[in-house]
Amino acid sequence: MSKEIPLFTPVKVGRAAEEVALQIEAAILSGRIEPGQRLPSERALQAQFQTGRGVVREAMCALKQKGLVETRLGAKGGAVVRQVEVPNVSESLALFLKQHPVDPEHLVEFRESVDRAITLLAVSRGSDEDKRRLVEETARLEALANEPGPDMEAIGEMDRELNIRLARMTGNPVFEWIMRAVQQGFSSYDYALYEDRRFREKTAANWRDTAREIAAGEPLKALYFIGNHYFMLRRCVAEKRGGASDSAA
């Protein structure tokens, strides 16, 4: 009968807690311990790592902070490997973005480059139904933006959902994850366009035109309107920062 290979190896004194956490993390990320599976008991971990209770508990705290494990109560409780969901990833990245201020131009540059890639993929991969819904939703946004005393909260939410919808049309989940995080984190300063009456209606109309060209399978025309959006956004942000004083074109 073959001897069972241990899941973990003993750690050295000094950075023991860090090494324990790294070994458990590696086991989780490699799939040797799957989401929903319980980790060995605290006593079993002490034995495998040949270390004390304090080291194991410190390592578990670090893994909880990373969102890799959670503690469950009851007979089947203990430290359990978490299934990391998309909302958890997006929320964590959004929180990071909120805590690390980014120069508006850096953000606008990043968003424009990503939106161009998303737009091209949406044209080629989006279904007819996806494109029809995008046109319908942008028409709703335009109607709302043209109302006297529009509901700014509703406009902001509609704009966020449109960005996520467009990212989803790429068929690449990474674009959607990043877009969700960006929208939660700082929304690309698009709110500045909607807050300014001179830009609000133009921005909503530009969304409508972008959607129509995507639906028509016209990538170059769609990219023109993407560029126009960021031209307006740069101008709006510059005015708010005192860099320009003339009105929108």
Mean pLDDT by 10 residues, the chain (249 residues): 62 83 89 88 91 91 87 80 70 68 83 96 97 97 93 92 96 90 68 87 96 97 97 89 51
pLDDT confidence of residue 2: 44
Report residue 78: phi and psi, to 5°.
115, -165
Give the domains, in start order, of the chain with CATH numbers: 16-81 (1.10.10.10), 87-240 (1.20.120.530)
Q: Annotate the chain with three-state secondary structure.
A: CCCCCCCCCCCCCCCHHHHHHHHHHHHHHCCCCCCCCECCCHHHHHHHHCCCHHHHHHHHHHHHHCCCEEEECCCCCEEEECCCCHHHHHHHHHHHHHHCCCCHHHHHHHHHHHHHHHHHHHHHHCCHHHHHHHHHHHHHHHHHHCCCCCCHHHHHHHHHHHHHHHHHCCCCHHHHHHHHHHHHHCHHHHHHHHHCHHHHHHHHHHHHHHHHHHHCCCHHHHHHHHHHHHHHHHHHHHHHCCCCCCCCC
Burial of 119-148, coded b for 16+ CB within 10 Å and e otherwise, reads bbbbbeebeeebbebbbebbeebbebbeee
Report residue 66: phi and psi, to 5°.
-80, -10
Q: Which two tokens stand for residue 186?
A: 């700082």
